[in-house]
Structure 1
Amino acid sequence: MGNLPADVTSFVGRRREVTEVKRLLSTGRLVTLTGTGGVGKTRLALHVAADLQRAFTDGVWLVELAQLRDPALLVHTVAAALKLADLPGSGPAAVLAGQLKGKQLLLVLDNCEHLLDACAVLAETLLRAVPGLRILATSRQTLGVTGEHIEAVPPLSLPDPDTPLPPGAAARYEALRLFAERAAAAVPGFTITADNQTTITWICRRLDGIPLAIELAAVRLRALSPDQLLARLDDGYRLLTTGSRAAPPRQQTLRAAVEWSFDLCSPTERSLWARLSVFAGGFDLEAAEQVCAGDDLPPGAILDLVAQLVDKSILSRVEQDSQVRYELLETIRQYGYERLREQGEHTTYQRRHRDRYARLAARFMAEFFGPGQLAWFTRLRQEHANLRAALDFCLTEPGEAEVALRIAVDLRVYWHATGFLSEGRSWLDRALALAPGVTPARVRALWVDGWLTLIQSGPDHATALLEEAGRVGRRLDDRLVLADTTLASGVAAMYRGDVRLATGLLDDALARYRALDNPLGTAATLIQLPLAAALVGDADRAVALGEELQALSEAHDERWYRATDCGASASRCGGRATGPGRAPWPRRPSGCSVLSTTGSASPAAWRCWRGSRPLTGTTTARPGCSARPRPSGRRPEPRCPGSGRWPATTTSAGTRCAGGSASGRSRPLAGTGPNSTWSKWSPTRWRRSSPPPPRRARTGRCR
């Protein structure tokens, strides 16, 4: 018994959601499915209702509310759907409740968002009067009734487009299955193959996994290839404009679905939606307040408006590590940005967004060498898309390139530590091309560009940039840049195998940084100098310099340099760090955590391992760390006490050191001349260069 429509197309996926909604209906009497337009709330509700028909002796009944505009007609619309007699003009809700008394039925109220108050009052009235009634509602906003259970309907599941799928694996992902089924209906014989799988994945990801958008896109394969379809999705609203003529108007096109949500918002909610469109990849409340507040939207009003946009399924709320962030689906963001452009405010709020993330980058640079490193790396990974958006604005808006230089320079350690070397260099190259002249920002950018190039591609590619930075630095009498270029020259000499020249330059750099009272530069030099000392046979100095770095790190409570130094010290110290009168290196789980979070591996440690290979058996790792030799010159896998995390680039090959004991001999390492393995080694062996976020470093084993 009931009036549910028969399925016209297959129902794809949603196994978890179906199970959860059934569970909620078994324990509660009012369940509301919420979510953005086109996400599949109605289809999910109808599927669950159809499965439950036998559980309700008086039927499962659908009440479609999308076309209803007058709240006064809601009760009459429900009665008509239930095939009940016409209700009197006064007190119709009580009359309806009386007619349903004693019945066991499920009522599906579809699309309640534009009639929220009326639906809430009716639902509460009926539930109080009819014990056998269950209500399953769909709405872009919750009803706000006592006892209401909420199930937020997410987009369909998607694979990572950068990870190749094995044959047949596409069927595991709901978005790809839906696209394949709807595309096969439009183009008989269509299947997802190894050749088109990546393109289809990007199409579905570009459409946020929203079923309505995917179905509209799949139909376009009648006229376009998958590659052509993907290329045209930059203007998705205009491309996805033809849907089922039988569907309600708000579901016939993607734009109509989003416009329906926009029309349901208040003027201030619409303004905030438009302004939030300048964010990329999510934001927190503080960012929204700083960027979006204005005379018409005071900062104190932003919290309530954000909460209202969450309630209306415009914003998604994501909680991680006790912090709440908000996200806009790309289709929602695009629509908001279109409205912002129509109002002529896009440049204003993009500039405010840029300023916000320029300040964030500057704070990172100022605070990085201190106790908050792990939190900073985590935060910048979260804000990576926003940092990109800020840089892109600087490079596309006339006169803003120098700000891009400052942002990219302030992110130097981030580019380095997290493996985004190619991306950092790309931003710097583009900004340098747009910002000629002799300025402090430009000379700093020249050095950072040269430094990242040196780390990634070696000294030959970095020489021109570093020499220009040195010339301009001397012209401007920029003492910090001169210290930085001296450090880089020392590292370049080390790369080339000229260890004595490298030692002199690094000593000079260290003196310059100390004179400037610059702990970050001092630490960067103290990573390199002990290795140079070990390579020329001065193990005592190597140990002393390493201990100085440890003390400096301790004094500032920083983790990254302390952690990256651990592995280099293993190979350079010849066991002397654990001799009589010397305290063993402290165990630093927090440092391991930094390396794990950043996906970083110490360049010094990796170079040290490569250089120390001929001395198998004569070097030692840190107490408690052991490295398993690997065949064919592959890097060892260390073990790190106190944390299961440590990059596989931190100890010398052939070393087994349960207690740090070793022969303690010290002599120049074999193979350190101009034609040695050392001088031929390329830093690209250890550092990933592509823009996508790096995976975590290989983790060690704890014992």
Structure 2
Amino acid sequence: MAESKPVATARGRLPAELTSFVGRRRELADTRRLLSSSRLLTLTGTGGVGKTRLALRMAGEVRRTFADGVWFVELAALRDPTLLGHTLAGALELSQVSANPTADLAEYLEDKHLLLVLDNCEQVAEACAVLASKLLAAAPQLRILATSRHVLGVEGEQVLAVPPLSTPPMEALAADADQYESLVLFTDRVRAVLPEFEIDERNRAQVIEVCRQLDGVPLALELAAVWMRTLSLAQILDRLEDRFRLLATGRQAGPARQQALDAAVTWSYDLCSPAERLLWERLSVFAGGFDLEGAEEVCSGDGIARDEVLDLVAGLVNKSIITRTIVTDHSIVAWYDMLTTISQYGGMRLAEAGRTREIRVRHRDFYRMLAAQWEADSFSPRQADWYIRLRREHENLREALDFCLAEPGEGAAALEIAAPIWNFWFAGFLREGHRYLSRAIDAAPEQTPTRAMGIWAGAYLAMFLGESEQSTRLLAECAELAERYDDEQLRARIAEVEGQALIYQGDLTGAVARLERGLAGYRTVQDRLGEFDSLILLSAATFFLTDPRVEEFSRQAYELADSRGAASSKAYALWTVGIVRWRDHDQYESATHSFREAIRLWQPMNDHTGIAFCVQALSWCAGSDAPTERAARLMGASRAVWRSSGAHVDETTPYSQFDDRTEQRIRAAIGDAAFDEAFQAGAAYSFDQAVTLALGEETERDRAAKPGMAGRLTRREHQIAVLIGDGLSNREIAARLVISQRTAETHVEHILSKLAFSSRTQVARWVAEHPER
């Protein structure tokens, strides 16, 4: 089964196309024309008609015309419209910048020339309309391509209704297979399961009839094609005719294409075994995908034995009901997803059975259990795996929290999910975590140990977001509950947050006193993660105080994290080791090595906050050791990474003082004009570009090259690029490699897109300049 994976480049982010793109020449031409004349184009049409594929193909074709890239934002799993701005900001690497992400987006996009592809807007259509209006007004070079089942209703919006694929008319019994798009698509998808399949005189009429009955709806055709593995064309037609007769008695007024899709999906549902149908229905409660453990925990029981789930998942994968996907390069388990239409159908069946709330409660309980496991196990050799897993489960965490906050009396359950994972929110979703905790605190007013943990976590995140008044208020209530329950661990946690707040306020002596109190409390209750966090904060406070105890705190922190095998914690310890080596021992190279090792540990976890600490520290090192334009650019890149993290640490007194000293040193060395230019260049970097610079992997060629140069070619694409360099035409390339000319043309387009080129001459020059590639 094909796997899907997002493709990220310096020019944006688009999911890779996993199957061939069929037809749509007219629609592509219309989309290109309307997109060139309008700043907002909405592709509308029923589910399964191919809106997303059309949008992706168009985005890929026009990518080279947008200097700042093409960015794809999937909204199918988004239920809460208030998270739309955060979702879009995260896709653009501006996650949780402030409490008003729309304003941050508008400011960021103001001078950007880019295309946003907003997919599946219908569930948050009103919010999409408002956000699109504001962003288009603020950013004159921004264009938006949206897909939705209905129009957004924004002033200036152009609308293109996406029709089904072309289908032979009734009289065309001898239609050519390549003359009608539906025949081409059906044939292509059947060949994925029966490579030897061909349309000939024996089966032509049956294939045409299948395409007619399914009204050329791509998803319906793809579902039918899968069944060619087990059924004949005649059997497929018999079942489709039965399904249409059933539909005709219930919804005669429905559009033909919607009936066709319903027919195909319902027919696929009917052909599944009873257990597969139950699993399909229950899997609909997941958002953004699921793994096998989640499916087993949420979906087993009452008709599905736990040890049957794996085989049932495999069966639904084989029937194209479920797709196996790759969420990150570092996932250690298989991840599965369902198309929105398929999931919605399962949800409809689940509702008809009256079991939606029951299964959603199971879903909530699974993620409550996952949060408890994170809290118990995240300071261990599995720490990195936990961060990666929770990022993969992000949409499901949202779904579980949204369910709790929409149900009366479920506020405490929301706290039990959101509070234990406070350090997950800190690593890249500060604003979102703060919002969920604030809502859950309001929904669970009863003073309990659960609320105590919730208000502590809320105070912690509020402090990082600059919400000092709220943080102070929550800590005061937390202190009352700590005394009521005589909770030493909670007292230690309060001292930790208070001490950290004092660091950021510049009261370093007071901070050390509070943090030492917290450290003692954590050691009393043997909370090793709390002990480690206190040691890290004590290292920071004593570093800024030039207190010699910094080396001892730093050493203890490193040894504790190393003994636990906790990768993220070890990275923070390496940060403390690095700053001490740099300032107190003048060991620039050793410090740089420590910071870069920490960044590499955080990269798989995509921990923007942790990485921001080290990029900033690297800029301090560079400014003192070699105050050049690169050091200024690194300072700007530090600003870019802090911006993507959402935390305001770099704006606090101790950190900003080091920034100020570094800036003054570089300005004195290279001049104000050179500093400003280099700093602004670094501040405009994407998160990935900033990390590349910080790791010392940016080359002069990278800086001078077009953004798309970083795109890596597959082995076949490189082979074709070499043939282009030899002067061969597409026809000659096809003959040389024994592939179709259409396939050769597709490869050439991909090569041009990945390299951000517009001509074959540029490809030839690139091949000559990069023989090692």
The TM-score, its normalising length taken from structure 2, stands at 0.51
Report deviation, 1:294. 1.6
Secondary structure at 1:371's aligned position in 2? coil
Mark the CA change 1:697 to 1:563 in structure 2 (over 3 Å): closer, same or farther.
farther
Question: Partners of 1:206 and 1:410 in 2: how far apart?
Answer: 40
Q: What whole-Å deviation, never above 9, does each CA across 1:139-183 have from its counterpart, x for those lacking one? A: xxxxxxxxxxxxxxxxxx99336357999976x98999xxxxxxx
Mark the CA change 1:166 to 1:215 in structure 2 (over 3 Å): closer, same or farther.
farther
Question: Is residue 146 of structure 2 the alignment partner of residue 201 of structure 1?
Answer: yes
Q: What whole-Å deviation, never above 9, does each CA across 1:474-523 have from its counterpart, x for those lacking one? A: 12111111101111111112222211111111111111111121111111
Output the amino acid matched with 1:564: Y
Q: What whole-Å deviation, never above 9, does each CA across 1:547-576 have from its counterpart, x for those lacking one? A: 111111111111212212433444455644
Question: Is residue 417 of structure 2 the alignment partner of residue 440 of structure 1?
Answer: no
Output the amino acid matched with 1:287: G
Question: Partners of 2:395 and 2:293 in 1: how far apart?
Answer: 17
Question: Is residue 458 of structure 2 the alignment partner of residue 427 of structure 1?
Answer: no
Q: 559-568 or 159-168: which moved more?
A: 159-168
Report deviation, 1:696. 9.0
Name 2:557's counterpart in structure 1.
Answer: 549
Question: Is residue 308 of structure 2 the alignment partner of residue 301 of structure 1?
Answer: yes
Question: Is residue 391 of structure 2 the alignment partner of residue 360 of structure 1?
Answer: no
- Please tell me whether the aligned partners of residues 513 and 519 of structure 1 are also in contact (alpha carbons under 8 angstroms): yes
Q: What whole-Å deviation, never above 9, does each CA across 1:329-388 have from its counterpart, x for those lacking one? A: 112111211111111111111111111111111111111111112211111111111111
Secondary structure at 1:457's aligned position in 2? coil
Mark the CA change 1:460 to 1:215 in structure 2 (over 3 Å): closer, same or farther.
same
Name 2:73's counterpart in structure 1.
Answer: 160
Name 1:593's counterpart in structure 2.
Answer: 601
Report deviation, 1:702. 4.2
- Equivalent positions of 1:388-467 (< 5 A) are 388-418=398-428, 420-467=429-476
Question: Is residue 701 of structure 2 the alignment partner of residue 701 of structure 1?
Answer: no
Report deviation, 1:632. 11
- Equivalent positions of 1:251-270 (< 5 A) are 252=259, 254-270=261-277
Output the amino acid matched with 2:521: R
Report deviation, 1:213. 9.4
Output the amino acid matched with 1:268: A
Count the aligned residue pairs.
462
Residue 20 of structure 2, aligned match among 17, 22, 30: 17
Output the amino acid matched with 1:270: R
- Equivalent positions of 1:598-677 (< 5 A) are 598-602=606-610, 605=613, 628-630=630-632, 634=636
- Please tell me whether the aligned partners of residues 518 and 534 of structure 2 are also in contact (alpha carbons under 8 angstroms): yes
Report deviation, 1:445. 0.5
Identity of aligned residues (%): 35
Name 2:570's counterpart in structure 1.
Answer: 562
Output the amino acid matched with 2:353: Q
- Please tell me whether the aligned partners of residues 426 and 609 of structure 2 are also in contact (alpha carbons under 8 angstroms): no
Report deviation, 1:697. 6.6
Report deviation, 1:395. 1.6
Question: Partners of 2:522 and 2:612 in 1: how far apart?
Answer: 19
Question: Partners of 1:206 and 1:358 in 2: how far apart?
Answer: 37
Residue 522 of structure 2, aligned match among 492, 508, 513: 513
Report deviation, 1:253. 5.6
Secondary structure at 1:159's aligned position in 2? strand
Structure having the larger proportion of residues in helix:
2
Question: Partners of 1:401 and 1:532 in 2: how far apart?
Answer: 37
- Please tell me whether the aligned partners of residues 318 and 324 of structure 1 are also in contact (alpha carbons under 8 angstroms): yes
Output the amino acid matched with 2:510: L
- Please tell me whether the aligned partners of residues 609 and 653 of structure 1 are also in contact (alpha carbons under 8 angstroms): no
Q: What whole-Å deviation, never above 9, does each CA across 1:27-57 have from its counterpart, x for those lacking one? A: xxxxxxxxx994679x99xxxxxxxxxxxxx
Report deviation, 1:400. 2.1
- Please tell me whether the aligned partners of residues 527 and 604 of structure 1 are also in contact (alpha carbons under 8 angstroms): no
- Please tell me whether the aligned partners of residues 444 and 451 of structure 2 are also in contact (alpha carbons under 8 angstroms): yes
- Please tell me whether the aligned partners of residues 281 and 350 of structure 2 are also in contact (alpha carbons under 8 angstroms): yes
Q: Considering only aligned residues, what root-mean-square deviation do their CA atoms show, in Å? A: 4.9
Output the amino acid matched with 1:305: L
Residue 485 of structure 2, aligned match among 476, 484, 497: 476
Question: Partners of 1:200 and 1:431 in 2: how far apart?
Answer: 35
Name 2:379's counterpart in structure 1.
Answer: 369
Name 1:312's counterpart in structure 2.
Answer: 319
Output the amino acid matched with 2:356: H
Name 1:273's counterpart in structure 2.
Answer: 280
Larger radius of gyration: 1
Name 2:394's counterpart in structure 1.
Answer: 384
Gaps of 5+ in 2: 1-15, 24-45, 55-69, 75-87, 93-108, 121-134, 153-159, 165-247, 641-648, 663-682, 698-773
Secondary structure at 1:259's aligned position in 2? helix
Question: Partners of 2:496 and 2:441 in 1: how far apart?
Answer: 22
Q: What whole-Å deviation, never above 9, does each CA across 1:367-416 have from its counterpart, x for those lacking one? A: 11111122111111111111111112222223322111111111111001
Output the amino acid matched with 2:695: R
- Please tell me whether the aligned partners of residues 408 and 428 of structure 1 are also in contact (alpha carbons under 8 angstroms): yes
Name 2:58's counterpart in structure 1.
Answer: none
Question: Partners of 1:427 and 1:315 in 2: how far apart?
Answer: 30
Q: 597-606 or 270-279: which moved more?
A: 597-606
Question: Partners of 1:214 and 1:358 in 2: how far apart?
Answer: 41
Output the amino acid matched with 2:322: L
Structure with greater contact order relative to length (CA < 8 Å, sep ≥ 6): 2
Name 2:345's counterpart in structure 1.
Answer: 335
Mark the CA change 1:452 to 1:247 in structure 2 (over 3 Å): closer, same or farther.
closer
Q: What whole-Å deviation, never above 9, does each CA across 1:522-564 have from its counterpart, x for those lacking one? A: 11111211222123231x2111111111111111111212212
Question: Partners of 1:14 and 1:603 in 2: how far apart?
Answer: 31
Output the amino acid matched with 1:381: R
Question: Partners of 1:573 and 1:449 in 2: how far apart?
Answer: 34
Secondary structure at 1:489's aligned position in 2? helix
Gaps of 5+ in 1: 1-12, 21-35, 45-156, 177-192, 217-240, 639-647, 657-685, 687-692
Question: Partners of 1:169 and 1:574 in 2: how far apart?
Answer: 40
- Please tell me whether the aligned partners of residues 577 and 585 of structure 1 are also in contact (alpha carbons under 8 angstroms): no
Secondary structure at 1:477's aligned position in 2? coil
Report deviation, 1:283. 0.8
Question: Partners of 2:295 and 2:508 in 1: how far apart?
Answer: 51
Question: Partners of 2:593 and 2:439 in 1: how far apart?
Answer: 43
Mark the CA change 1:695 to 1:473 in structure 2 (over 3 Å): closer, same or farther.
farther
Output the amino acid matched with 1:566: L
- Please tell me whether the aligned partners of residues 455 and 475 of structure 2 are also in contact (alpha carbons under 8 angstroms): yes
- Equivalent positions of 1:22-421 (< 5 A) are 38=48, 159-160=72-73, 162=88, 200-203=145-148, 214-215=162-163, 249=256, 252=259, 254-319=261-326, 321=331, 323-418=333-428, 420-421=429-430
